[in-house]
Amino acid sequence: MRDTDAVFLQFYDALRLPDWFGWNWNALSDCLRDLHWLPADRHVLVIEAADEVLPGDASGQHALFTCLLRAGRRWSYTGKPEGIELGRLVLVLSCDPASVAPLTEQLRSYLAETRSS
């Protein structure tokens, strides 16, 4: 995912986003927090080479990861008396070992921002 158009296209194709998808960050966020058009009850979204997404586009990375974090929080697992049930949407970000620490810090920073907004 080298540019924002590629990000939107990949999500559109992979998740079969609805026709009303607006090809912008707000629309992607809305879709990821809804998922009603998908037939399954549970979803796993894998972003491979997450550390290489939108290279040189800090604002695009911020927007994408913020969308993902908000969607993850929206569908996060909930505790039940008999145990923990996995949420409807699980996000997996993969990267090479050398990028784990910087990507983790970046995501923590974005997560702190989403909690305050």
How does the average pLDDT of the chain come out, rounded? 89
Q: What is the pTM of this model?
A: 0.84
For the stretch 13-47, pLDDT in tens is: 999 999 999 999 999 999 998 888 888 888 899 99
Q: What is the pLDDT of residue 76?
A: 76
State yes or no: pLDDT of 116 exceeds 80.
no
- Residue 77: pLDDT band (50, 70, 90) is low
For the stretch 49-73, pLDDT in tens is: 999 999 999 999 999 999 999 998 8
Q: What is the pLDDT of residue 81?
A: 55
Q: What is the pLDDT of residue 39?
A: 86
Find the helix packing angle between 25-32 and 4-15, rounded to 10°: 30
61 and 4 Cβ atoms separated by less than 8 Å: no
Q: What is the pLDDT of residue 47?
A: 96
CA distance 56 to 111: 21
Q: What is the pLDDT of residue 17?
A: 95
Q: Which residues contact 64 (CB under 8 A, 6 or more apart)?
A: 7, 25, 53, 54
What is the CB neighbour count within 10 angstroms for residue 87?
16
- Residue 87: pLDDT band (50, 70, 90) is low
